[in-house]
Amino acid sequence: MQKATFAGGCFWCMVTPFEEQPGIHGIVSGYMGGHVENPTYEQVLTGETGHQEVVQITFDPKVFSYERLLELYWPQIDPTDAVGQGNDRKSQYRAAILYHNEEQRLLALKSREELDKSGRFDKPVVTSIEEASVFYPAEEYHQNYHKKNPEFYKESRIYSGRDAIIEKYWSKD
């Protein structure tokens, strides 16, 4: 088993693309990259802890490759936005691929370069690729939020602008 970690705006919206894929053994919403130990959602929400909202995926690379995870990740975000996603504008919502080993780093760099050269976007692809750091799982009520609170999740997804981003950049796919 390996870990893959992705930031792409609100972590609630980053779970569903990965959750029912073969070889995916777990998805945990959480926080990474900040300077506060064991941050709470309320602390991260201020944008002052330096953390990003992330999903950490446990996967079997023999069944579901890291390249395939990257293929699922990119269409969930606006990779040309360096400061957030949609209406989620604070630093905790910026997109990033957080690699766990050198192979992941190289594959992420390659996929970002290919995406940037694809001509799909009118601005450069700026999603950062950073080394993974300490992962802090989010509070239990954030785990599988879309299943626990389907109506509020649906409203939050619309408000965040995520579906508009997907429609704008990825509807051809």
The H or E element that residue 3 is part of is strand 2-7
| DSSP summary character for residue 17 | T
Active-site residue, 13 included: no
107-147 residue pLDDT tens: 999 999 999 999 999 999 999 999 999 999 999 999 999 99
Backbone dihedral angles phi then psi of residue 24, each to the nearest 5 degrees:
-90, 120
Asked if 50 contacts 91 with a C-beta cutoff of 8 angstroms, the reply is yes
User: What band does 157 get if pLDDT is binned at 50, 70 and 90?
Assistant: confident
Q: 133: left (phi > 0), else alpha (psi -120 to 50), else beta?
A: beta
Minimal CA–CA distance to 9: which of 139, 172, 171, 163? 163
Q: Which of 90, 127, 93 is nearest to 14 (CA)?
A: 93
Three-class DSSP category at 138: coil
Q: Predicted confidence band at 162 (pLDDT cuts at 50, 70, 90)?
A: confident
pLDDT tens, position by position, 36-95? 999 999 999 999 999 999 999 999 999 999 999 999 999 999 999 999 888 888 899 999
Name the residue range of residue 113's domain. 2-170
The catalytic residue among 4, 7, 10, 32 is: 10
pLDDT category of residue 155 using cuts at 50, 70 and 90:
confident
Judged by DSSP in three states, 96 sits in: strand
Count of domains observed in the chain: 1
Task: Let me know: does 30 contact 54? Beta carbons within 8 Å.
Answer: yes
Residue in the block written with tokens 């705006």: 9
Whether residue 22 has pLDDT greater than 90: yes
Q: What is the CATH number of the domain that holds 91?
A: 3.30.1060.10
| pLDDT at res. 1 | 97
List the one residue out of 36, 15, 12 whose CA is nearest residue 142: 12
Contact call for residues 5 and 57 (beta carbons, < 8 A) = yes
The pLDDT value given to residue 173: 61
